[in-house]
Structure 1
Amino acid sequence: MDKSENRTLIVKVICVLLSLGLWLYVSTVENPLRTYELKNIPVELTNEDSVTNSKFAVVNKPQFTVDLKLEGSSNEVVKVKKEDFRIIADMSAYALKNGENNIPVQIITCPENIDVKNNGFLGIKVNLEELVEKNFTIKSKVKVTYKEHIYEKEQTISPKTITVTGGKSSVEKISEAILTGEEKNIDKNNESEYGIKFVDSLGNEVDNIKSDSKTAKLSIAITNGKFVPINLKTKGAVPQGFILEGYELSNNSINILGDNQNLDKIEAIDTEVVDMSSLQAESEMDVKLNLPKGISVENGENTIKAKFKVVKEETTTKKIVCNVQYKNLNEAFSLDSSNSTINVTLTGTQTELDKISSQNINVILDLANVKEEGTSNYTPQATLINTDKVTISNVDSVNIVVKKKS
């Protein structure tokens, strides 16, 4: 670096030092008046009960602030902070209206040796709307888990309802009053207190409202449980001409709740008795469970659905070999040859036909009208014994040879 550059740098440093010294002199020795704008100084609303008494509510209730133009000595102005001021807006001092209200503010506390130089109106804009009241039923959104074989018997909330007051727009946003939180591994009766939240239809919390209670108690009563099979009880049989091919239950087992002493006595749960004689087609019905005293079902349902597959049975035929009885032949004649058995054809459902044997059929050929010898063909008379659910559709004929006695 040459000498000319050194001289230039020295001159610049001297200028800076002289400027700083001059500023220090003016600030500390001369201490001239200075103006300064302090922004966003909080404003406190007082006598807010007058707003409520006028049936209004503050919309959204923001943090109200004002900007102040201050004047004072340099030493004092640089020390000023927002916390040095207390500024209020007295809500009881003015007539209030729905909508925007211009409320003047009062400076209650101000630092000494500082003057406020604001010109014109110094105040805040307060938006008011109609004050409304509405009741809500409190609901629990608390996530509850239980230890194994422990089940919820009942949940209760106290108080059950809550009254909310606030601006109309805020109150109308509320969809539910809820309790939120979590209870883990419950194994005994439990009671906990939760804060009440007010949420809109999207689950967002609604502010700027008041309620007559901040909290509610959630009480959880527990019980023991046990899985047991369901036993369908029936009486009678499906009507003639129908077949029960089977049935299905909506649940083959069920979780019952109660104290251990009662649960230990139960191995299955019976249903009410279903009369099968009323079933004439495939059908589904609600069947009540016969729950012993002190026993309930986990889901609260005391019925199950039973689906019966009932179909109409088709008729068919069956041939049975039967013995033939020959009667009333004139004593002057004798049977030289005859059929000892014939086929009798029956018509009915397979179920009923399976019940019939030759023991249920009498086959008789009456020969009282035979007056001469020779060979003849006859159809015997067949009758059914102890059944009226099948019919005789055909009887085979017989060949007989009759001869005169010598």
Structure 2
Amino acid sequence: MESRESPVEMKDIDREAGGARPDPESNPKSRPPGKKRPPFVEKIISLWHKIKARAKNYWLIAKEWLLSRNMGKGDRWAFVVCLLMALSVWLYVMSTDDTSYEHTLSYVVVNLEGMENLTRSDMSVISGFDNVASVTLRGRRADIGGLTAEQVNAYVDLSEITETGRHTLPVKVDLPGYSTLVSIEPSHVTVNVDINAVKDVEVRVKIDYVVDATYIIGDPVPNHKTVMVTGPQSVLDKIEYAGVSFSPGHITTSLNLSGTLKFYDEYGRIVDNPYLKCDVSTITVSVTVTMRKTVPLTVTFESGISSNYHVEIKPGEIILLGDPKILSEINEISVYTVKINEGSVGVPLIRHISRLGLPEGVIWENADEGINISIERLY
């Protein structure tokens, strides 16, 4: 009767045989005459059959364990979960521990280093200060995968520049100790260097506002009429004036405004260069708002009785200019006080007023014309 081996018996036989069953193809005696493989191929075939046999044995062991009556359904699920977790951990470790991972960072700002040497030589940069580069690093994913463009220092060294003009310089990168540099694009940048100079620049103020017809806006007065600007000569030559702008909206009172200067060329375009320096950073501008108000004129009677007098005032009203807050409190002006029993019946009392006791800051428009008063006692 033919004997059959069980899977478990096969497993035991394989263990005794070194983990692999003999391969008929690998046995020279079972190979047809004249057919001979190279030694290298023989080794590969032998290794393949060993791996195949071991994998089969491990699968039989796992299958027997999983199908065992002593193992519950929960134990089988726990085995599967543990197997998946182990596989995930292995994949993660393999991916993070691999030092061939490459990470590209775009828009890395290329800084200019060594500016102090240019400054000592009375030189500064005209252009080339706004370059960016794309940097590719190699290393472990865990080390470089989270890097951002702001964490990488790319720069060009200006310390070797000794004359004005255009200079093409290599871009360098301060690498983290756990990474290597793969590439920089662009690998070189061009900077333009010029002589430093000084220029006095006029300050101009622009204000956009809305105002009622009764208000008068005076010319804005800056606390500096000119400023001194230092920078590259060719850039200074483009500057026509230094300007500051405000938009206060609807104006009803005097203002004090502060703003930052910008430099403009003759066409009103901004002249921008990070190496321009101004001796004044902030400009304060005062704007005087004057109200124009028509006020009626009256006379005052010391006795408090006006029925026995006939009074004529020419003009009957005047125009005042001043602070809106002050003028809002003035609704009429008494230009003369009639004393008790002053004047004679039928004889007009004529007075000319050329000055008024007005609050400080309030101006009488057309004061040179004066005021004429005629007071006639009736009885």
Instruction: Compute the TM-score of the two structures, normalised by the length of structure 2.
Output: 0.46
Report which of the two has the higher share of helix.
2
Comparing both structures, which one devotes a greater share of its residues to strand? Answer: 1
Larger Rg computed on CA atoms: 1
TM-score for both structures, normalised by structure 1: 0.44
